[in-house]
């Protein structure tokens, strides 16, 4: 088990090589839930996630022989980038095994930091067999993404900073994948402030920690496909499990739609670009998964920001639809000159902006679609979309209309 002194020592060891990330107050969250809220911006680390801390601590603990031989790791992307960057900075050769469908931005950045990248399997757990083989055949030192005491101690330095930045802390909410970050944070927080609650958050599609705690031992998931790819782990660690079992107060689950809403909330309200795995802590607050009162002072850890920009576009569209600011109209009209202009005029009367129109004579209908749908950019929520649904009743030119989901 980790000790408070391990994390204090790690903090001294890595402080010159990682960012002391800010922890600003979130007035937007305070408008949505009880208490005061702060956001620990770990996505501001050099490689875009909290993984800088554990990777650097592990590398600095290596002996001369291990440094000369090089390191190898399996990672969904964030650990890969952090290990590659700090290994390069310290002159240590680095090989990374990544899932086949890892986000493009994470693959490109990992290679950009000088690492050899090998892609295999669906999750980082699937790549561990190859890591073991490379370690045997090439003499590389494995650096586990979370199930390593040095890595866990490095991640725990987040907790030290939070206790200094928010001295009246009552609750800290931590994303959970393999359990390394929450193990380190819980160790130092419970040692120095035992009354502070430590709450973990997992994707409902990848509930490894929750199911392991229920079973009393680490269990392997059959599937872990989630928007929160950074915390998609099929099996939590043997070393992290006892820390979760003894130090963590609760683990809550967040589904995919809730993760989407949290990413969008951070984009729109905080102007933060945060990946799915980093946004689950805020999702837990927005969805009321954690019981909080007016006297609570809560820190949500935003653990990473390495999200594919193509995914950001889809997240925005889904969130705008859910909020009533994006709509698709399917309208059937007579095939006569002037009817199309009358339909668009009716949309304009409602104050909407048409982004795309597809006029199909073969099936006899018109679609006004933003991206391929009709989109209101004036941030009018549901009343706008409800009004658009009334368009065919307002002298629609010879047909019928309805709203369809994007």
| Structural domains of the chain, ranges and CATH numbers in brackets | 4-49+149-316 (3.40.50.1100), 52-142 (3.40.50.1100), 325-404 (3.30.70.260)
The pLDDT of residue 366 is above 90: no
Residue 304 phi/psi, 5-degree rounding, is -165, 155
Catalytic choice (51, 106, 234, 289): 51
Q: Indicate whether 363 pLDDT > 70.
A: no
- So what's the pLDDT on residue 123? 62
Cβ–Cβ < 8 Å for 261, 283 = yes
Per-residue pLDDT band at 406 (split at 50, 70, 90): low
Does 303 qualify as catalytic in the annotation? yes
At 214-223, the pLDDT tens digits run 999 999 998 8
Residue where the block lists tokens 């994470």: 106
Please calculate the CA angle 243-249-255 and round it to the nearest 5 degrees: 100
Q: Which of 55, 212, 224, 303 is catalytic?
A: 303
Residue 395: band (very low, low, confident or very high) from pLDDT cuts 50, 70, 90: very low
**In whole angstroms, how far apart are CA 274 and each of 101, 139, 281?**
19, 36, 11
Q: Is 88 tagged catalytic? A: no
DSSP reduced 3-state for 397? coil
- The confidence score (pLDDT) of residue 124 equals 62
Q: How many helices (H) and strands (E) does the chain have?
A: 16, 15
> Taking the model in full, what pTM does it have?
0.86
Structure tokens at 103: 């986000």
Place of tokens 């408070």: 4
pLDDT tens across 45-56, in order? 999 999 999 999
């Amino acid at each position: 088990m980790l000790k408070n002194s391990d994390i204090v020592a790690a903090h001294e060891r890595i402080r010159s090589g990682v960012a002391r990330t800010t922890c600003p107050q979130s007035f937007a969250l305070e408008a949505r839930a009880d208490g005061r809220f702060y956001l620990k911006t770990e996505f501001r680390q050099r490689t875009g996630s909290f993984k800088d801390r554990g990777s650097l601590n592990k590398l600095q603990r290596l002996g001369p022989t291990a440094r000369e031989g090089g390191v190898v790791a399996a990672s969904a992307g964030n650990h890969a980038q952090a290990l590659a960057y700090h290994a390069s900075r310290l002159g240590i050769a680095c090989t990374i095994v990544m899932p086949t469908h890892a986000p493009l931005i994470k693959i490109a950045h990992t290679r950009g930091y000088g690492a050899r990248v090998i892609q295999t399997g669906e999750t980082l757990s699937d790549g561990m067999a190859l890591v073991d083989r490379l370690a045997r055949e090439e003499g590389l030192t494995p650096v586990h993404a979370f199930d390593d005491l040095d890595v866990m101690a490095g991640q725990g330095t987040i907790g030290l900073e939070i206790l200094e930045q928010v001295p009246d802390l009552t609750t800290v909410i931590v994303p959970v994948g393999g359990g390394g970050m929450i193990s380190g944070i819980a160790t130092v927080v419970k040692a120095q402030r035992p009354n502070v609650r430590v709450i973990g958050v997992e994707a409902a599609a990848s509930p490894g920690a929750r199911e392991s705690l229920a079973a009393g031992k680490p269990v392997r998931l059959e599937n872990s496909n989630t928007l929160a790819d950074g915390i998609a782990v099929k099996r939590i660690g043997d070393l992290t499990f006892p820390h979760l079992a003894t130090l963590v107060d609760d683990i809550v689950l967040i589904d995919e739609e809730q993760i989407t809403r949290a990413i969008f909330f951070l984009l729109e309200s905080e102007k933060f670009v945060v990946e799915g795995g980093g946004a689950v802590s805020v999702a837990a607050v927005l969805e009321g998964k954690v019981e909080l009162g007016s006297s609570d002072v809560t820190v949500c850890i935003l653990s990473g920001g390495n999200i594919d920009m193509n995914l950001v576009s889809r997240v925005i569209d889904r969130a705008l639809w859910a909020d009533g600011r994006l709509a698709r109209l399917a309208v059937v009209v007579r095939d006569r000159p002037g009817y199309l202009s009358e339909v668009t005029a009716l949309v304009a009367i409602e104050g909407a902006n048409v982004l795309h129109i597809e006029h199909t004579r073969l099936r006899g209908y018109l679609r006004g679609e933003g991206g391929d749908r009709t989109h209101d950019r004036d941030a009018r929520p549901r009343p706008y979309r409800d009004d658009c649904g009334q368009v065919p009743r307002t002298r629609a030119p010879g047909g019928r209309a309805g709203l369809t989901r994007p």
